[in-house]
Amino acid sequence: MTADTVSDARPGVPAFATTGPKKLYLNGKWVEPRSGAYADSIDPTTEQPLTAIPVAGPEDIDAAVAAARQAFPSWSGVAPYERTTLLLRIADLVEAHSDELARLESADMGGPIGLTTWMVAHSVEVLRHYAGWPTKIYGQTAPSSPGMHAYVVRQPIGVVATITAWNGPLLQLVWKVAPALATGNTVVAKPALWSSLTALRFAELLDEAGVPPGVVNIVTGDGGVTGEALIRHPGVDKISFTGSVAVGKHIMETASRDLKRVTLELGGKSPTIVFADADLAAAAQGAALGFTAGSGEGCVAGSRIFVEESVKDEFRALLLEQMKACTLGDPLDPATTMGPLAARQHHERVTAYFEVAEQEGGSVVRVTEAPRGLFVPATLIEGLSNASRIAQEEIFGPVAALLTFTTEDEVIRLGNDTVYGLSASLWTRDLSRAHRIAAAIEAGTIWVNTYGVMSAGTVPFGGFKQSGIGREHGTQVLDAYTETKTVMVQL
């Protein structure tokens, strides 16, 4: 047992998870919610409460937005190199506490420790990536008429509200806070209620790093009260959202009333496409990872697996072997590859799809047993078409539809026959075909002979169609967090 672990929690759960009730981080101070409302934070492994999380109400949101507005002029005026230094300090602190943060996240949302450790390490890299930006945001001079000097500059937007999902809480927060700060914006961040703990611990680290009061404010709470007050607030200039399509559409509609800027990172139903010429063992490994990593609670989950008919049996056997190798158990155990789903309500939603599959005439294939509680084993659904609900709806659990195809044209048509367009993975040894299919599939990220690789901050990420609007990362990130200003001077 380490110093940050309390005796009344199960081994490995950091003390931060079981102390409380928690407070809101507003204007550099920890305060009780004016709403007086709290919700239980539940450990999905035991289904026992960990601590109490404030549910911020409209008055709390007013205070958070006011703090962010007040901090904006001075923060946006901070010299670029100072912002770099501060972001590097935050990265160092997150790195120094990476083990605690990973365990906190595993206890809070059930992700296996291997995955949460990677997510924290990735967050550190992303912070360091964005630390490099402030000193490299150049403007342009623009061609104009004689006697006119025209130039173009990027300026911060103002107060950014970040609203994130429960499946990668720290990573999603860092993906938004780091570029927002690098470009001179201030932030009001609302994590998902089911997994708020790493956001609150991150706020302590921001404080320790010396982030000025009001530059980042953390308001916990649910969607209906806290989120709604935030997206409607006239003092918010931009909303950066990660979550479901339904809520994304609602946010866009609400934001349209005063034309707040929006970036939407939404759901997916990504195809994994396996051609007969692929390295089938590698493809089976990638396909299994695609729907079992993080118990399938991933926006880029490869939940529709299309295999070329001629190799279906061979590939299926390899895929079942991979599914058999999944280890379900305590997410804090390093041997675990699949923890519990994040919440009882979500478990009910995911498992209800097994009945849907049977009603649609599909067969449900499992090769491992699940422990009691919120666990779901890797599950393959066979015998359905791409038009079935199983193949069209985002299940967000370790469930994939196994489908077949015979021609390139057919798999392109089927792969694109979805409202989503977040990602795809292709498996083939034919280089020309890989590029042809990559060009034809309507998705924001295409992985060829690999799955799920992320390159910290350097490659754009986002969705086609209903998987979202705008991009995080890459050079495109500047469009998400800055306004472009043209200045024309008569000489």
Kindly list the catalytic residues.
265, 299
Q: State the Cα–Cα distance between residues 439 and 447, nearest whole angstrom.
A: 12
Other CB atoms within 10 Å distance of the CB of residue 19: 12
**243 is a contact residue toward ligand NAD (CB under 6 A):** yes
**163 is a contact residue toward ligand NAD (CB under 6 A):** yes
How far from chain centre, in Å, is Cα 59?
28
**223 is a contact residue toward ligand NAD (CB under 6 A):** yes
The Cα angle at residue 329 between residues 447 and 369, in degrees rounded to 5: 85
Number of helical (H) and strand (E) elements in the chain, helices listed first:
16, 20
Q: In this structure, what DSSP letter does residue 9 have?
A: S
Least distance (Å) from ligand NAD to the CB of residue 126?
13
The residue among 89 and 190 lying less far from ligand NAD, judged by its C-beta, is: 190
Q: Which of 63, 67, 178, 266 binds ligand NAD (CB under 6 A)?
A: 266
The residue among 253 and 313 lying less far from ligand NAD, judged by its C-beta, is: 253
Return the half-sphere exposure (C-beta side, CA atoms, 13 A cut-off) of residue 248: 22
Least distance (Å) from ligand NAD to the CB of residue 462?
7
**398 is a contact residue toward ligand NAD (CB under 6 A):** no
Which residues are CB-contacts of 60 (< 8 A; sequence separation ≥ 6)? 24, 26, 33, 34, 35, 54, 219, 226, 229
Stretch that binds ligand NAD, among 158-166, 276-284, 365-373, 445-453 (CB under 6 A): 158-166
**255 is a contact residue toward ligand NAD (CB under 6 A):** no
**180 is a contact residue toward ligand NAD (CB under 6 A):** no
Least distance (Å) from ligand NAD to the CB of residue 350?
11
**167 is a contact residue toward ligand NAD (CB under 6 A):** yes
**396 is a contact residue toward ligand NAD (CB under 6 A):** yes
Stretch that binds ligand NAD, among 46-54, 200-208, 241-249, 356-364 (CB under 6 A): 241-249
**228 is a contact residue toward ligand NAD (CB under 6 A):** yes
Long-range pairs of 350-356 with CB within 8 A, sequence gap ≥ 24: 350/376, 350/395, 350/396, 350/397, 350/399, 351/376, 351/397, 353/389, 353/390, 353/393, 353/395, 353/397, 353/399, 354/379, 356/389, 356/390
Stretch that binds ligand NAD, among 28-36, 197-205, 216-224, 434-442 (CB under 6 A): 216-224
Which residues are CB-contacts of 409 (< 8 A; sequence separation ≥ 6)? none
**231 is a contact residue toward ligand NAD (CB under 6 A):** yes
| Contact (CB, 8 A) for 167 and 298 | yes
**201 is a contact residue toward ligand NAD (CB under 6 A):** no
The one-letter amino acid at 237: D
Q: Count how many residues are written for the chain.
A: 491
Q: State the Cα–Cα distance between residues 121 and 82, nearest whole angstrom.
A: 23
Q: Which of 91, 174, 299, 318 binds ligand NAD (CB under 6 A)?
A: 299
Least distance (Å) from ligand NAD to the CB of residue 196?
9
Q: What are phi and psi of 167, to 5 degrees?
A: -85, -20
Stretch that binds ligand NAD, among 17-25, 263-271, 400-408, 474-482 (CB under 6 A): 263-271
Q: In what order do the strands lie in the sheet with 304-308?
A: 363-366, 379-382, 399-405, 304-308, 271-274, 423-427, 445-448
**165 is a contact residue toward ligand NAD (CB under 6 A):** yes
**321 is a contact residue toward ligand NAD (CB under 6 A):** no
The residue among 163 and 318 lying less far from ligand NAD, judged by its C-beta, is: 163
What is the size of the binding site for ligand NAD (CB under 6 A)? 30
Q: Which of 33, 169, 268, 415 binds ligand NAD (CB under 6 A)?
A: 268
The residue among 76 and 244 lying less far from ligand NAD, judged by its C-beta, is: 244
How far from chain centre, in Å, is Cα 393?
19
Q: State the Cα–Cα distance between residues 1 and 15, nearest whole angstrom.
A: 11
Stretch that binds ligand NAD, among 12-20, 104-112, 227-235, 481-489 (CB under 6 A): 227-235
**190 is a contact residue toward ligand NAD (CB under 6 A):** yes
Stretch that binds ligand NAD, among 115-123, 162-170, 359-367, 384-392 (CB under 6 A): 162-170
**233 is a contact residue toward ligand NAD (CB under 6 A):** no
Q: How far apart are the first and last CA of the chain?
A: 71
The Cα angle at residue 231 between residues 230 and 236, in degrees rounded to 5: 75
The one-letter amino acid at 413: R
Q: Which of 204, 222, 410, 430 binds ligand NAD (CB under 6 A)?
A: 222
Residues within the interface to ligand NAD (CB under 6 A)? 163-168, 190, 192-193, 222-224, 227-228, 231, 242-244, 247, 250, 265-268, 299, 394, 396, 422, 463, 468
